[in-house]
A = this chain, B = another copy of it.
Amino acid sequence: MTQVLPIAIDAMGGDSAPQEPVRGALLALRRGRSVCLVGDEAFVHPLLDRAPDIPIVHAPQTVSMDDAATAPLRGKSQSSIRLALEEIQAGRAAAVVTAGHSGAAMASALHVLGRLPGVARPALVTVVPRGDGGETVLLDLGVNVDCKVEHLVQFALMGDAYSRVVLGVERPRVGLLSNAEERNKGNAQVRSALEALDALDLDFIGPVEPDAALLGAADVLVCDGFVGNVMLKTVEATAKVVTALLRRELTAWHPGSLLGLWLLSKPFRRFRQRTAASNYGGALLLGVDGVVVVCHGGSDATAIAAAVEVARCCVEQGVVGRVASVIEGNVNPGSSIDNGLAPER
């Protein structure tokens, strides 16, 4: 019997830490997952009375949202996010899940785990459901704002690899998020990136509007992290708003709709499970040499537990290693500087 390494949960990260991360760990445990918690024992231990068998890795420091992204590299080397990542490095954890400061998670992951070969700038990646029943890979989701052309090139390569490996798309259509499909529109960033993206050995389909992408036009949607973060949060919030408005319409109707609602309660529940933000389970930090899943700061226990599932899938499917080989195959070493793939200083 092979030993399954636990997934390390950053107990101190997020708006409702340590309560929600700890509850998320308990939920994952009930689902049979192996987890450990990294955080301040004095806070975490009392929350664990019903499940004393979840190991705690003591971390005396916490990164707050007001800290600089580099805090875990400087004054806060004993912070929960950094020590969680060191559990991977030491071979004691398979992956990390955090709802804390995403910039700090990236900086620490680069420092502790290092980059994949050929990757200068990691990105947060997730999938969003499409109208045609498929899913679109979206990156970056917020760890890189004010991106340069070479960053967008990297995201295209990583998104292509992720789509092939995780979703099994044979030749993903890679689009650049824009406000118009015409190449002479878009903002300065979009217009300046088109040429470099055209030059890549992948199916780059040019600028894509978000609505076209969500209705099926692109398998991978590349964007600046600021815009990607706005887009992802808008998708999640709109799904909530639409469900709330629909429920209001339905219950405001006549008595027949109460019977209708009752008959539809099961499919409604399945639908909510498919679209609720808390079931999406955070975004993979793609490009570092390890599995790191970053959740929204407002994540509740359900979201944390869902992120543990995302991390587990990535570990079991060997996503990081497989993405690394697709990227290596895609990068022509002779033209690495043209492709913006020169390692960062």
Contacts and interface: CB of A to CB of B under 8 A. Distances in A.
Interface of A: 65-66, 129-131, 133, 142, 145-146, 177-180, 182, 184, 186-188, 190, 209-211, 213-215, 224-227, 229-231, 233-246, 248-250, 252-253, 256-257, 259-264, 266-268, 270-271, 274-275
Contacts of A188: 145-146
A283 to B, nearest CB: 13
Interface of A, helix, strand, loop or mixed by DSSP: helix
Contacts of A233: 179, 209-211
A183 to B, nearest CB: 9
6 contacts: A209-B233, A234-B234, A242-B242, A246-B267, A246-B271, A249-B268
A110 to B, nearest CB: 19
B182 A210 contact: no
- This chain: how many copies in the complex? 2
Contacts of A225: 179
B226 A210 contact: no
Which 9 interchain pairs have the tightest Cβ spacing? Answer: A260-B263, A211-B237, A179-B229, A238-B238, A214-B237, A145-B187, A260-B264, A249-B267, A211-B233
A264 B261 contact: yes
Contacts of A261: 260, 264
A238 B230 contact: no
Contact of A237 (B65, B131, B268, B271): B131
Nearest to A179: B229
A70 to B, nearest CB: 13
Contacts of A210: 230, 233-234, 237
A231 B229 contact: no
Nearest to A142: B179
B249 A271 contact: yes
A230 B235 CA distance: 11
Best-buried of A237, A253, A262 by chain B (most CB within 10 Å) = A237
A288 B257 CA distance: 46
